[in-house]
Chain A
Amino acid sequence: ETGVTQTPRHLVMGMTNKKSLKCEQHLGHNAMYWYKQSAKKPLELMFVYSLEERVENNSVPSRFSPECPNSSHLFLHLHTLQPEDSALYLCASSQDWRGGLQNEQYFGPGTRLTVT
């Protein structure tokens, strides 16, 4: 399935590095999301974008910086991360963000990030 793609699939970075995660959706959806999934913890919503505008930031540290240049692409820029930021970062998209069946979300395969 290639509805939502993410690159890279794996990333190892030092605490002083700057890197970016990329997500692309081919479903014609209007909303895109970033989630973090740490070991043995539920998925945590980080950011929500609707038609390139950020509609929610769930108290995420500023070392994570999202960017949505158009409705098909979403980036997560990373800088000066901490080892506890190591996790699986998942991108998702949905038709709309405001609830109901249009909020059915489709996930990309994720980027497994390790911060050393």
Chain B
Amino acid sequence: RKEVEQDPGPFNVPEGATVAFNCTYSNSASQSFFWYRQDCRKEPKLLMSVYSSGNEDGRFTAQLNRASQYISLLIRDSKLSDSATYLCVVFSSASKIIFGSGTRLSIRP
């Protein structure tokens, strides 16, 4: 089993739709969690950290479920510019920063 797993997608949804994807992790001692987005042939950019109580930033909502060991990202009212690959990152220690393989999202007009 991979330490961090994401559905690779692609998710193809119409503009304005709500889309959600999960990321599961295997190490119950994991401490910190993040979502990044990566556009084609560009570097990853921090989207949001994931707080234990869940957090929201505009159209984006991140949740952490420690009991089931997953984090989720919800995007409301999706825009064409949201098309990207979304990476979840799980941090256990300095040597254990694990990136998921990413979920591809494509927003169609």
Tally of A-B residue pairs with Cβ under 8 A? 53
**Residue contact B43 to A108, C-beta cutoff 8 Å:** yes
Q: Which residues of A contact B42 (CB under 8 A)?
A: 109
Interface mask (B18-51 → A, CB under 8 Å = 1, otherwise 0) = 0000000000000110100000001111100100
Size class of the contact patch on chain A? 20 to 34
Is A105 at the interface (CB under 8 A from chain B)?
yes
Minimum Cβ distance to chain A for residue B15 (Å): 26
Is A2 at the interface (CB under 8 A from chain B)?
no
Minimum Cβ distance to chain B for residue A33 (Å): 8
**Residue contact A110 to B43, C-beta cutoff 8 Å:** yes
Contact of B31 among A48, A55, A99 (CB under 8 A): A99
Is B61 at the interface (CB under 8 A from chain A)?
no
Minimum Cβ distance to chain B for residue A22 (Å): 15
**Residue contact B34 to A45, C-beta cutoff 8 Å:** no
Is B101 at the interface (CB under 8 A from chain A)?
yes
Q: Which residues of A contact B97 (CB under 8 A)?
A: 33, 45, 48, 103
Is A61 at the interface (CB under 8 A from chain B)?
no
**Residue contact B46 to A55, C-beta cutoff 8 Å:** no
Q: A42-B102, A107-B43, A107-B45 are in contact. Are A99 and B32 (CB under 8 A)?
A: yes
**Residue contact B95 to A58, C-beta cutoff 8 Å:** yes
Minimum Cβ distance to chain B for residue A95 (Å): 12
Contact of B44 among A43, A99, A101 (CB under 8 A): A43
**Residue contact A106 to B46, C-beta cutoff 8 Å:** yes
Which 3 pairs between the two chains have the least Cβ-Cβ distance?
A107-B43, A43-B99, A56-B95
Residues of B within 8 A of A (CB): 4, 31-32, 34, 42-46, 49, 87, 89, 91, 93-95, 97-102
